[in-house]
Structure 1
Amino acid sequence: MWKRIAVHYPVWFETQPLAYYRRHSASHTSTLIRSGANIANALRAIEISESYLPKAFATQLSNQARKNYAFVAISTARRMLAMSDMEAAIAQIWSGLNCSDSPEVISSLISLLKSIDSEKFLVELSNYAEQKQGNETSQSALTKLYQALEEEPSDLKTTSPTIVFDGVAFQILEKAGITRVWTNLLEEWIKNGFAKYIILLDRAGTAPHLSGIRYINFPAYGYGNTEGDREMLQQICDQFGADLFISSYYTTPISTPSVFLAHDMIPEAIGWNLNLSVWRNKHHSIRHAAIHIAVSENTAQDLVKFFPHISLESVIVAKNGVDAQIFSPASSEDISSFKKKYGIIKPYFMLVGIDDNRKNRILFFKAFSQLSNREGFEIVCTGSDSLLNPELRNYTSGSVVHILELEDEELATAYSGAVALVYPSKYEGFGLPILEAMACGCPVITCPNGSIPEVAGEAAIYVNHENADELADALGEVQKPSIRKSVIAAGLKRVKQFSWSQMANTVSSALIDATLLPLKLKDNNLIIFPDWLQPEEKIGWELQAVIKAIATHSENRSITLLVTTSNISYDDAELFLSSVTMNLLMEEDLDLSQGPEISLVSELGEIQWQALLSHIQARIILSYEDKDVIAQIRAENLTSYNLEFSL
């Protein structure tokens, strides 16, 4: 009907629902869903409509429509499985496979199978297929499905929640501080079991392959196709039913909620050209994010400074760590072998990082040139493969400068053998080299800028980043045995406050809390567990009584009522609640638009329930409750209220 109208008249599509209807098991729609006829009818309508479309676009548009209805079928099958209606779910999947055998549809179906007992489901689907007459598309789709399942890694099983992680930093940045952070977080999540919730998008095979991580091959990123990349990311999120997205470096999907981890605000603080694509993407990621994390208090403050719509209280601080298995004092034998390998003969000062204005290397070279005993020292520079700037060479006459590219193990040995790490940076988002040097028993000379004091504390020698004379004095002081011993001891004590496991726990907790944002939790959160298998009249009366009691409470604007939806679909529960609130408006003149918040709880994993229960103040006892869910999530331990309660 609507297609016929659209052919002859202008049509307006209103995205907001104008009216609700109650869906029940005896309705005509429910009967069509249980048989899969709803999808079959849509497929027939697509075939009829194709002849009315412009020939240049008819095939393309019709194929896209078939694919869309295949997705609808898979989504409906999920809902049927949540209601324990296997027969209806099978009928939906079979009808969906009659629509499309596209790779996206097969991938979406595989995602569904990972969340259930797939072996039983596939047996039922095969039996159903033998009884029903399919078409060429469905037979092709089945073949592709089985082939894809054979190629799928055996451990690639989705666990709720599903978090898509874009490993784009490993492609763009290769070896950098940011990739070091993410590698350590992934390794910690493998150890503590959180990795089972992560799906890592491996950009062109550049991500580190770690046992225990689920990988999806993904195209390389290019700044010239940002919009297309966002669409592809959203498609992946949709296919895997992602609850959350997090990027290692400034990418975002279109609509899936995301988390932003701020490593620094260097471009904003230093005054770089923010019109470059990379920084525009960063700012888009910040604005798109539902939750913000920062690696230091200083970075959190800078984030809020440049994006004042973010409150400082909402930013979660998760400080970087140090790997004590790698970064620890090396033996004298290892240090001697390292120096021999690279031809280092004399004691040496160490510099880390690229040669740019922010790292402020020139201050060291100016100070070094002032040392009366400078010819007794060499200089080791790491983190940059370029030759020493001619301007800097003017300050090193008579001394050897080694420019080395070192892996972590050798970097730790280099720290251990150095007279000091000199790190005169003008700004840092964290300052990871400082922490690593301290862990190796290396004295640190640095500047009290940015987040550096948070990292180094009282365990470093501080100088002004503009004062070469002051740094020259520090280079002399650190040669004194008593000063060295004191600074080294303070550094080794300081690093014990930082660990990757602690950061991993903080970030993972933030990610889980982010998956609960749709519940709109407030200061006071109450929960009820309706038994939806009871007659509608009983459930409706009790829900109306609970909502009325909360809505008339003096603190109603600070309350969220959580309603579980076991053994009922989310859509049906939403429609049912809409009718209850409408009855309250009509019968009691009770407008709920100002509070309380009412949120449906659906398909949470165990780790999400654990996080959610910590935010719930009490459970309201109902006459007809879902005892199984209450026992499963151990909600018996919550404070319990009857309908008359006070917060």
Structure 2
Amino acid sequence: MNSTTRPRSAPIVLLDATAIPADRGGVGRYVENLVPELVASGVDLVVVCQQRDEAGFTASGARTIVAAGWAARASGRFAWEQVALPSIARRAGAAVLHSPHYTFPLFSRRKRVVTIHDLTFFTAPEVHSRLKRVFFRSWIRAAKALRLVVVTPSQTTADEYVRITRASPSRVFAAPLGYDTAVFHVPSEADLTAFRSTLVPEPEAWVAFLGTLEPRKNVPALIEGFVSATRSTSPDQRPALLLAGGAGWDEAVAGSVEAARGAGFDIRMLGYAPLEHLRALLGGARVTAYPSLGEGFGLPVLEAMASGACVLTSRELSLPEVGGDAVAYCATDAASIGRELARLLADEPGREAYAAAGIQRAAQFSWARCAARHTVAFAAALGRRALVPSGVVGRHA
């Protein structure tokens, strides 16, 4: 454990950050941004993490414990979580153990809180592999059976959890996610120039997508819709379609990309995009499209709005809770995506109006508010009205 000391003003919360990947996708950004806000709000926080993440969490003000190396391996992590993590929590004097990604120790004397990010394993099972469906459904049901306090990233997901598991609403807390204002804001010309320079050839204009290339992101339908929307545009005026995100398990994406390229459309798979380029990718696009089949929150929509993008998304599950009236909507079929995308590409004033509204809408979300909801959940797990005594004030109070 690091040497940071502080007065014991609140029960200790131990957060297990060992499962977050080196490439910070949605869950990684959730944990990375939540930790400093919990510390700032007065939570006495201990983070268990991998060696590579220790410096970052220590710099945020949390005390840290580096997990054994075998906890980082997929083959060993489950055993480590079930056997070693409860022991670490006991030695740290933790009153609450927070598991931020579905799984948790089945046996522990600590009060347990678990984050359940979405319920599409039940509501849209066809977009997940059978193994994932069985695995995550089992853990979601276990959280209810053990009467754990559950945190979700949206009220929609909280309601779905209660509906599907019949859990008590009093044990479920929606904590809408936030965004890093230092990263996601309207890109400067220098940001756009730096981003363009990473692409060869450099595109004059583009439509952006950000997310893991998995079936529920609906990328093949987006590609078909993009082709339909831009078919009548001359090739020298046609925007590119930039697909940014880690490789998933949607086998149809590669075939859709190849077919569209063969027909003369500029479609690029960028892979995992560095964080420093995301605001340019999203905010510099003519349209950022995210026609997902269902989300527990929809962090790319929020980050795109914060970056000044005109966003096109679907009305599935939590996405309207994030986008409100500040984004354009389409159905999830290729024809609807194409119609709405064509409409936006032809309407520059409309795009500018959506961009302005999105910036205002995004400002309603913050990691400080997200952290505040977590402290309410931690207090509920302990049967307390508040986790942090009234005399302890964080910088965002």
> What does residue 425 of structure 1 align with?
292
Distance 1:282 1:311, change over 3 A: closer
Alpha-carbon offset, residue 373 of structure 1: 0.9
> What does residue 482 of structure 1 align with?
349
Alpha-carbon offset, residue 406 of structure 1: 1.7
Considering Cα pairs closer than 8 Å and 6+ residues apart, tell me whether 1 or 2 has the greater RCO: 2
Query: Can you give the 5+ residue segments of structure 2 that lack an aligned partner in the other structure?
Result: 392-397
Alpha-carbon offset, residue 289 of structure 1: 5.0
Taking the aligned partners of 2:234 and 2:42, their CA distance within structure 1 comes to 51
Q: Does the 8 Å CA contact 1:347/1:378 hold for their aligned counterparts?
A: yes
Q: Does the 8 Å CA contact 2:58/2:64 hold for their aligned counterparts?
A: no
Deviations 1:351-378 (A, max 9, x none): 1112222111111211122221163111
The correspondence for 2:18, drawn from 160, 168, 171, is 168
TM-score by length of 2: 0.84
Q: Does the 8 Å CA contact 1:168/1:247 hold for their aligned counterparts?
A: no
Q: Which amino acid aligns with 2:314?
A: C
The correspondence for 1:268, drawn from 113, 119, 122, is 122
Alpha-carbon offset, residue 409 of structure 1: 1.9
Taking the aligned partners of 1:225 and 1:385, their CA distance within structure 2 comes to 22
Q: Which amino acid aligns with 2:240?
A: E
Q: Does the 8 Å CA contact 1:420/1:445 hold for their aligned counterparts?
A: yes
Distance 1:204 1:341, change over 3 A: closer
Deviations 1:130-187 (A, max 9, x none): xxxxxxxxxxxxxxxxxxxxxx64324573411111112225x752201111111112
Q: Does the 8 Å CA contact 1:368/1:374 hold for their aligned counterparts?
A: no
Taking the aligned partners of 1:325 and 1:153, their CA distance within structure 2 comes to 27
The correspondence for 1:367, drawn from 225, 245, 248, is 225
Taking the aligned partners of 1:366 and 1:281, their CA distance within structure 2 comes to 36
Which aligned pairs between 1:117-516 and structure 2 lie closer than 5 A? 153-156=2-5, 159=8, 160-171=10-21, 174-194=23-43, 197-203=44-50, 205-206=52-53, 208-211=56-59, 212-219=61-68, 220=71, 222=74, 226=78, 229-249=81-101, 250-252=103-105, 254-255=107-108, 256-271=110-125, 272=128, 273=130, 276-277=134-135, 279-308=137-166, 310-343=167-200, 344-370=202-228, 371=230, 372-373=232-233, 375=235, 376-385=238-247, 389-396=254-261, 397-404=263-270, 405-466=272-333, 468-479=334-345, 480-516=347-383
Taking the aligned partners of 1:178 and 1:434, their CA distance within structure 2 comes to 15
Taking the aligned partners of 2:303 and 2:150, their CA distance within structure 1 comes to 26
Q: Which amino acid aligns with 2:50?
A: R
Alpha-carbon offset, residue 393 of structure 1: 2.3
Distance 1:169 1:279, change over 3 A: farther
Alpha-carbon offset, residue 218 of structure 1: 1.5
Q: Which amino acid aligns with 1:252?
A: P
Taking the aligned partners of 2:77 and 2:323, their CA distance within structure 1 comes to 41
Alpha-carbon offset, residue 455 of structure 1: 0.3
Q: Does the 8 Å CA contact 2:42/2:388 hold for their aligned counterparts?
A: no
Q: Which amino acid aligns with 1:201?
A: V
Q: Does the 8 Å CA contact 2:17/2:48 hold for their aligned counterparts?
A: yes
Deviations 1:229-277 (A, max 9, x none): 3232222222222211101221225122101222111222222436644
Identity of aligned residues (%): 24
Q: Does the 8 Å CA contact 1:351/1:380 hold for their aligned counterparts?
A: yes
Find the residue that maps to 1:168 and give its secondary structure: coil
Q: Which has more helix, going by share of residues?
A: 1
Which aligned pairs between 1:100-119 and structure 2 lie closer than 5 A? none
Taking the aligned partners of 1:423 and 1:181, their CA distance within structure 2 comes to 19
